[in-house]
Structure 1
Amino acid sequence: MKAQVKWIGDEMFAGISESGHTIVLDANAGSLAPSPLENVLISLGGCSSVDVISILKKTRQNVSDCKVEISGTRVDSVPKLFSDIHLHFVISGTNVEEKHVKKAISLSADKYCSVALMLNKSVNITHDFSIIEC
């Protein structure tokens, strides 16, 4: 897998994936696009959500929506690395069983999500969830 990052002006950069997709990054406190560290949170949430939905589908849970709210805490010293990241999954559906959601999140965190597995070597990553019946 390869990627490229190209400076496009001021503190703006274009990230171009090997598959030809482009994302804009803004190092100026994310005023025009996500900052690189915001993108790390988004990538973690995306990776985890893919796993959770896949696992819930395999366990035949009737899921209609999945949202993950991600909060990161950074250290005060430079470089301002993440010390803690928390993911709160909000799963909507009909008769979705708590045990299956808990297992799906655990499998993602401990076995499948490449982003989480890379980050958790230096970041404390926690999870919880709520289920909305609809």
Structure 2
Amino acid sequence: PYQLLVSSIAVCSGGTLRKILEKKRLQVEDITIKTDVGRNEAKANRVEKIHLHYLIKGTDLDEHKIERSIEVASRNCPMVQSVKGSIEITETFEIVK
């Protein structure tokens, strides 16, 4: 089912992001990922869009560093790179307290 595809992309992206944030020595306590999926009913309910929204909890987090880290994570996540060109993946984040 498509939920497994979406879950694998979210988990891969989140894990890669966490590693990058740790390397930048950012104090991250928790990352929650919410997903929104766009499917095309006319083409066998094909997954065409996945939006990942990261809820990042931590102390003294720099928005610019997080934004840059998400870009780097996207380029280094094998699951995202596997579907590149066939599924549009967008990402946003917010810092939660």
The TM-score, its normalising length taken from structure 2, stands at: 0.94
The runs of at least 4 consecutive aligned structure 1 residues that moved more than 2 Å come to: none
Q: Which of the pair has more CA radius of gyration?
A: 1
Distance 1:43 1:53 in 2: 15
For the pair 1:97 / 2:53, whether they are aligned, the reply is no
Match of 1:122, SS state, is coil
Match of 2:85, SS state, is coil
RMSD (Å), alpha carbons: 1.0
Give the match for residue 88 of structure 1. 53
CA apart distance, 1:132? 1.4
Distance 1:82 1:119 in 2: 10
The answer to whether the 8 A contact 1:90-1:129 is kept is yes
For the pair 1:71 / 2:36, whether they are aligned, the reply is yes
Instruction: For CA contacts below 8 A with separation 6 or more, give which structure has more relative contact order.
Output: 2
Unpaired runs of at least 5, structure 2: none
For the pair 1:131 / 2:95, whether they are aligned, the reply is yes
Distance 2:16 2:24 in 1: 12
Q: State the AA in 2 paired with 1:81.
A: R
Unpaired runs of at least 5, structure 1: 1-35
1:102-121 pair list within 5 angstroms:
102-109=67-74, 111-121=75-85
CA apart distance, 1:124? 1.2
Q: State the AA in 1 paired with 2:51.
A: H
Structure 1 or 2: more helix by fraction: 2
